[in-house]
Amino acid sequence: MNKSWDADYKAMWNERYMDNEFVYGKEPNLFFKEWIQKFEPGSILMPADGEGRNGVFAAQLGWKVTSTDLSEEGMSKAFELAKEKKVDLEYSVGDLEELQFEPLSFDAIGLIYAHFAAEKKSVLHKKLNDYLKPGGIIIFEAFSKLHLLYNSIDPKVGGPKDFDMLFSTAEIAADFDNYEILLLEEKEITLEEGKYHIGKGSVIRFVGRKK
């Protein structure tokens, strides 16, 4: 991966999260909210957790949360939200490729709009798999390859403009081939998450249990 690309990507997120507002809102993603409540709380890893809306919600349910992101500004906002909601979470800033956690140490992983560079996607998914205990759960929602059409019609809905950073059900099935599939679908949804996820989009949704 081009290091200048990494630096630019990090700078973009830091600039976005410097906004006084919570740019994706303070409420959790609806899909994550629905599914995380179906499982007994344990330890959960939240890569690309940004301003912490999903990690903080999990903490409110009694989960022990470890969030990560490229952005120091995102971490600052996450701690602000955690304080407001009177919960604790751990937070590591850095490239997920370089961050290290204990193997088989998490009961769940939440991947909510965790878009990575094309050549990193599958590598990082396999790495995350190593951190999850057998029987552990992954909850995933991110933009599908079809979303590029929605984004071109209405940029307010957000999402990467690089086709290869978007997902297909086939990619997810291949990356997580050692999982019992509880749900895997491509779906049109209406987003209302802060000011960067507004309008109709196309997403991939996946919930899997590691075998």
Domains of the chain, by residue range, sit at 3-210
How do residues 53-84 score in pLDDT, each as one tens digit? Answer: 999 999 999 999 999 999 999 999 999 999 99
Pairing of strands 90-93, 64-69: parallel
pLDDT tens, per residue, the chain with 211 residues: 456 678 888 999 999 999 999 999 999 999 999 999 999 999 999 999 999 999 999 999 999 999 999 999 999 999 999 999 999 999 999 999 999 999 999 999 999 999 999 999 999 999 999 999 999 999 999 999 999 999 999 999 999 999 999 999 999 999 999 999 999 999 999 999 999 999 999 999 999 999 9
Amino acid making up residue 209: R
**Helix/strand/coil (H, E, C) string of the chain?**
CCHHHHHHHHHHHHHHHCCCCCCCCCCCCHHHHHHHCCCCCCEEEECCCCCCHHHHHHHHCCCEEEEEECCHHHHHHHHHHHHHHCCCCEEEECCCCCCCCCCCCEEEEEEECCCCCCCCHHHHHHHHHHHEEEEEEEEEEEEECCHHHHHHHCHHHCCCCCHHHCECHHHHHHHCCCEEEEEEEEEEEEEEECCCEEEEEEEEEEEEEEC
Q: Which CATH architecture has domain 3-210?
A: 3-Layer(aba) Sandwich (3.40)
Which residue matches tokens 């709009």? 113
